[in-house]
Structure 1
Amino acid sequence: MSARPVLVYDGDCGFCTRSVEFAQKHIPFDADVVAWQFAELEELGVEQHRAEHEVLWVTPVGTVYGGHHAVAKLLMNAGGPWALAGAALRVQPVSIAAHGVYRLVADNRDRMPGGTPACAMPAHLRPDTVNAAG
């Protein structure tokens, strides 16, 4: 287990990769960042199907937050005004809206800026993943 939180994302998804790169450049959070394809998922206590489905924030003690909750944790970790935004994502009714927006974006990430047709494919059918798994 890492001494710092770990942000796990889909490294085969162009939109996801660009989103993480944007966060690393503009949001001062303190965490290890790894594509799930290169993460020790079992060690992190994460099942692959969950990592394929949503961004994850894994705390040093092994608590796993996914989707908009992971984004909220990242923002709260950054402190300052970012922490306020992160806290807002965790309270009703903002949390309900954030969940809906997150799912809408995640389910359509192949259509988002930087997205590719591979983003829409299940991980086991993506060329990179097939070769890595086989």
Structure 2
Amino acid sequence: MPTLLYDGDCAFCTATARRLHARGGFDIRAWQSVDDLARWGLTHEEVSNAAHWIDDDGVVHGGPDAIAHAMVARGGAARVAGRLIVKQPVRFFAQIVYRWVAKNRHRLPG
């Protein structure tokens, strides 16, 4: 089953992951609860800076691509938005917005 790794110490990240998971056919896990990040080729630095999506084949997507995959898996209107996020020019802006959110995530409501 695909998995979305998120920052469990961040209320905004936790709330977002739970909202996405509400209808999605995937697992959510705080990266802090994962004993062996290396099995997915991830480092502590990578997961502390961005969300990550691990698909059924073990392929890892980070940042806005991780959120886009979770949105597609959630379905409904989120599926359409998720598909747009990974296409240019939307992807360019999604990366900018994601970096800002990631940098300020502890200040955002959750």
Same fold (TM over 0.5): yes
Change (3 A) 1:111 1:8: same
CA contact (8 A) 2:2 2:54 kept: yes
Candidates 26, 34, 50, aligned match of 1:54: 50
The alignment status of 1:12 with 2:39, answered yes or no, reads no
C-alpha contact 1:56 1:67 (8 A) present in aligned 2: yes
Secondary structure of the 2:29 match is strand
User: How large is the Cα RMSD of the aligned pairs?
Assistant: 1.4
More contact order relative to length (CA 8 Å, sep ≥ 6):
2
Secondary structure class of the residue paired with 1:75: helix
Tell me the number of residue pairs that the alignment of Structure 1 and Structure 2 aligns. Answer: 109
The secondary structure found in structure 2 opposite 1:17 is helix
CA 1:45 to 1:60, structure 2 compared with 1: closer, same or farther past 3 Å? farther
So what's the TM-score if we normalise by structure 1? 0.75
Give the aligned partner of residue 28 of structure 2: 33
> Greater CA radius of gyration, 1 or 2?
1
Percent identity over the alignment?
A: 38
Structure 1 runs of 4+ with >3 Å offset: none
The Cα shift of 1:47 comes to 1.4
* Inter-partner Cα distance in structure 1 for 2:106 and 2:74: 28
What are the within-5 Å matches in structure 2 for residues 108-123 of structure 1? Answer: 108-114=104-110
Q: CA deviation at 1:24?
A: 2.6
